[in-house]
Amino acid sequence: MKYTIIDIATISGVSKSTVSRVISNKGYVGSDAREKVLLAIEKLQYKPNAVARAMVSRHTKNIGVIIYRQHHPIASHPFYGKILDAILEKAYELGYSIFVMTDKEISSRSADFLLEKRVDGLILISRLNQELVDYFKSSQTPFVMVNGTTDDSDVIHLVNDDERGGELAAEHMLSLGLTRIAIIAGPQEHRSHFLRSKGFQKTYNQNGIELDENQIYYADTSQFEEGYKAFQALWERSHDFQAIFATNDMIALGAIKAIYEKGLQVPKDIEVVGFDDIDYAAMSNPTLTTIHSAKTRMGHEAVLMLDEWIHGNTSQKKMQMFSPVLKIRNSTKAK
C-alpha cells in the first residue's frame, strides 16, 4: 500500500505541514513532534514521492550532464569518461541523481529534454557556441562548463591550462636535446588541441628553434586510428625527426603502433610525448611520457560548484584553471 503524508499525520497526531517540515528538513519542529513523525515514517516504510518532495523543497536533486562530442567514443572515451566518472562519484556523495545525454552536434536537443525533467542544474562537457551559452542563460537553470571556454564572463567554466601543458612537453623534449620534432595536432577548432600545439611551438620558437611546418600533421579527429595514419603520412614526407609530440594520448599511442610496424623502436629511434595521462598511458609498451590533465578534479569541482550555485551562491570564481603536470615514463629517454 502506498502511504501519503496525510497517513503520516494521522498516525503521529500532528498536522500535514508539520510532516512536510520534517520530510523537507526545513522550518522548526519540536523534538517530540519530530520523533512521532519519524516513528510513523519508519512504521509505514514511507518513501516521499519525488515530485511532491520537489514541490516542497524546490529541488529535484537531479543534475543533467551533456557531453558534446562529434566522434565516437563518447561516454566511454578515456578522457571524457574519466570526467564523467568523477561527476557521478561526487554527485552520489551529495545526494544527486544524474541524467547523462550526448550530442554530436552543438544544439539544444539534449538540453530541452533535461530542462523538461526539471533538473536542478546542468554540467556541459566540451565546447559550446555563444548561441547555446545564451540559450542556457535564458533558461535560468544553473550550469557549468567543463573542458570548454567562452568569452562570456558570467559563465562558470573549468579547464586545464593546456597551453602551459604544451610548454611543459616542449621543455622536457628540449632538455633531452631533441630539436627535430614532428607534431601530430588534434582538431584545431577544439580549444585544447589548439592551445597544446600553440604552447609547444611557442616554447621551441623562444629557444631559437623554428619547427618545420612540413613536420606538423593536423588530424581530423583525436582517435587512435588518426595517430596511426598521421605517423605514416609524416614518415612519407620525411624521416628527419627524432621525436613526436601528440596533442593527446590516443593519437600518441596510435603513432607508436605505426612506428613499430616500420621496424623502429620507441624511444631508441623515435621518442614520443602525449597529453592527458589517460589510464592507457601507463599500460602501453613502452609506457607513455605525457602531460597529466586534472580529469577527476575537474569532474569533482564541477559538481561542487554547481551545487553551490543551486543553493544560492552565485558569486563564485567564474574561471577555474587546473595546472598540468609532466609525467615522465619510458617513451622518452632518460637524461
Is 239 found in the same domain as 273?
A: yes
In a domain, 258, yes or no: yes
Mean residue pLDDT across the chain: 88
Q: What is the pLDDT of residues 200-217, one digit of tens each?
A: 999 999 999 999 999 999
Domain of 31: which CATH number?
1.10.260.40
Is 219 found in the same domain as 105?
A: no
Domain of 275: which CATH number?
3.40.50.2300
Is 178 found in the same domain as 283?
A: yes
Residue 73: strand, helix, or coil: coil
Instruction: Answer yes or no: are the C-beta atoms of 64 and 77 closer than 8 Å.
Output: no
For residue 250, pLDDT beyond 90? yes
pTM across the whole model: 0.80
Is 228 found in the same domain as 120?
A: no
In a domain, 142, yes or no: yes
Return the pLDDT at 51.
46
Is 83 found in the same domain as 30?
A: no
Return the pLDDT at 57.
47
> Region 168-183: what's the mean pLDDT?
97
**For 78-87, 101-110, 122-131, which range has the lowest pLDDT when averaged over its residues?**
101-110
Given 256, 275, 293, the domain boundary residue is: 293
- Which range among 69-83, 108-122, 298-312 has the greatest average pLDDT? 298-312
Confidence at 18, pLDDT banded by 50, 70, 90: confident
Instruction: Answer yes or no: are the C-beta atoms of 308 and 301 closer than 8 Å.
Output: no
Is 153 found in the same domain as 168?
A: no
How many domains is the chain built from?
A: 3
For residue 315, pLDDT beyond 60? yes
In a domain, 73, yes or no: yes
Treating both helix axes as pointing N-terminal to C-terminal, what angle do 16-24 and 31-44 enclose, rounded to 10 degrees?
A: 80
Is 155 found in the same domain as 167?
A: no
In a domain, 331, yes or no: no
- Alpha-carbon gap, residue 178 to 223, rounded angstroms: 26
Domain that holds residue 32: 5-57
For residue 164, pLDDT beyond 70? yes
**Rounded alpha-carbon distances, angstroms, from residue 242 to 139, 142, 255:** 52, 48, 14
